[in-house]
Structure 1
């Protein structure tokens, strides 16, 4: 067994290379499920462990057992799980989700979420990651899977602790720190491979929830020097390639595309010397212009263009041909978008929020701390329960911390199709 207390740097160096080498050499073929090489790699990785749980100290305020989950006592409460498995993704209740997966980069893998030093950026704390973590319960660690576990305690796929993407602890959180959007296709294939290998999962009948959050490394590290290969158009194409594969290979899927986060938030926070240093090292494209403000404006424009490309793909109709598959855009992250024109400033509400939420960030002022992951998880959950065209994109809405709940007239996760019905008829 390899204790990674001394192996963090090693993991950081091999993380992306390992993902590329193993997934490209094996999973990239159609003979995905018969590859003994990949199976051996995963089995070996399952013996790798991170430091003990008490190594981490930064956690959210815990909710006492005497306080029920708000949806448990909500008026007009519907059934949480269908009597029989639904065949339509437009009739999907929260309790109908059987399998959960998270894909993306170091934000999706929860890097540094409970660390107090810059070295913590090397630790993938997947169990607390907002979209794929399942450690403890929503009371101690609020994540999207932990919220869904209230509705279906038998949920499968949520990460159980720290570990790299192919580790046992990762489960179906297959996000890879440092990933580019072009590598998302390999994460999709790893997700399928892991599902096929898990005897708890009924591949054909179980409903899968997949959340994708990727593109930050493209815009921070490469776009300023290689615009052609890191353009919004190629971002869209790489997402499309991965989604096409999911659409072709996997039944019963609800996909969340989360708009990428604007990295200029790093510089708009009350910034420390540590943040300044890590910003230059981790987001060189923000510092590529002669003037930092000019670089921030340029990068925020790139972010908007990436977000627009994500929106165009989701609303293209490309994935509307199957009754058991949907791709939905969850835009809550746009609330942190930075100014894109000279003289434009953050809204007073955002400035106030930024001053009061420094604890939601890790020491690099960009990744989410465990508290930040908890807040983001609530926003993602709420977006899923808001109709398309009426989702949280305003900072004023983010200040509200309550959970949205299913009701009798809207018991299902919203999709483009049932949103149209709801907005026209008042029910899904």
Structure 2
């Protein structure tokens, strides 16, 4: 199993590098990459991974009983319990690649149920995610991911984040999310209030030195705008939560010989 897992991990790295290098010039490689992620999902660990024990420095003591009154008819009236649907777009951080892994072979999994903007595993007392907060107000919340699930899996739900994605892929993820919501039999697409989180940009920064124009701040903004325009036109009753990218210079402080070797 260890040899197989290491082979898969090396394949992921090699494929990701290929996508970054070839994809810059030829985006026809992108569908191939998505197909590969589907294969990876089949060999990912399916059992519950080891859990690192930790304690929250806080308890969730917000008022969850304030659900009286008629449903919101505009965003200005919206309250947490009005939100029925959650969705998310992004890269490996949204896909939660390796997020709950405790060993190297577990790194091949996408732990989408632990993803902070879209994961729904356990409860807010055990896993800090946005859906787990909203479930306190609306137990019937839909759209969150569960477990170790790939991009194309049913458990991924309305999480269309793709490991390795860049801002240029935001329109693809947006259109896929809309398709999934419209196809879900329990979703009232026109009437249900939705909260969608967009969080992407780390891979753009990593590629900036290879193509100053394609990965410029201006192009990044344009890519995000195109996705937002689609949401504005096609997704009613939606709050879009656009998150700024991490300050990537801080990643350098986390480096170590072991981490550097694995990243290579």
Q: Common fold, TM-score beyond 0.5?
A: yes
Structure number, greater radius of gyration: 1
Distance 1:268 1:159, change over 3 A: same
1:196 offset after TM fit, Å?
A: 1.2
**Aligned residue for 1:69?**
60
Aligned ranges for residues 136-151 of structure 1 at < 5 Å?
136-151=122-137
Find 1:242's aligned residue among 214, 227, 240.
227
* Residues 351-371 of structure 1: CA deviation (Å, up to 9, x unaligned): xxxxxxxxxxxxxxxxxxxxx
Say if 1:98 and 1:152, in contact at 8 Å, map to a contact too: yes
**Aligned residue for 1:165?**
151
Determine the C-alpha separation between the residues in 1 that align with 2:171 and 2:32.
13
* Residues 248-281 of structure 1: CA deviation (Å, up to 9, x unaligned): 1110000111110122212123x321233456x4
**Aligned residue for 2:24?**
none
Say if 1:158 and 1:172, in contact at 8 Å, map to a contact too: yes
TM-score, normalised with respect to structure 2: 0.82
1:112 offset after TM fit, Å?
A: 1.2
Say if 1:58 and 1:115, in contact at 8 Å, map to a contact too: no
TM-score, normalised with respect to structure 1: 0.52
**Aligned residue for 2:93?**
107
**Aligned residue for 1:411?**
none
**Aligned residue for 2:22?**
none
Distance 1:278 1:134, change over 3 A: same
The alignment's C-alpha RMSD in Å is: 3.2
**Aligned residue for 1:60?**
54
1:48 offset after TM fit, Å?
A: 4.3
Say if 1:19 and 1:176, in contact at 8 Å, map to a contact too: no
Q: Does 1:153 align with 2:147?
A: no
* Residues 318-359 of structure 1: CA deviation (Å, up to 9, x unaligned): xxxxxxxxxxxxxxxxxxxxxxxxxxxxxxxxxxxxxxxxxx
1:19 offset after TM fit, Å?
A: 9.7
**Aligned residue for 1:272?**
256
Distance 1:136 1:50, change over 3 A: farther
Q: Does 1:224 align with 2:218?
A: no
- Find the residue that maps to 1:228 and give its secondary structure: coil
Determine the C-alpha separation between the residues in 2 that align with 1:251 and 1:50.
36
Say if 1:20 and 1:186, in contact at 8 Å, map to a contact too: no
1:190 offset after TM fit, Å?
A: 0.8
**Aligned residue for 2:72?**
86
1:20 offset after TM fit, Å?
A: 3.8
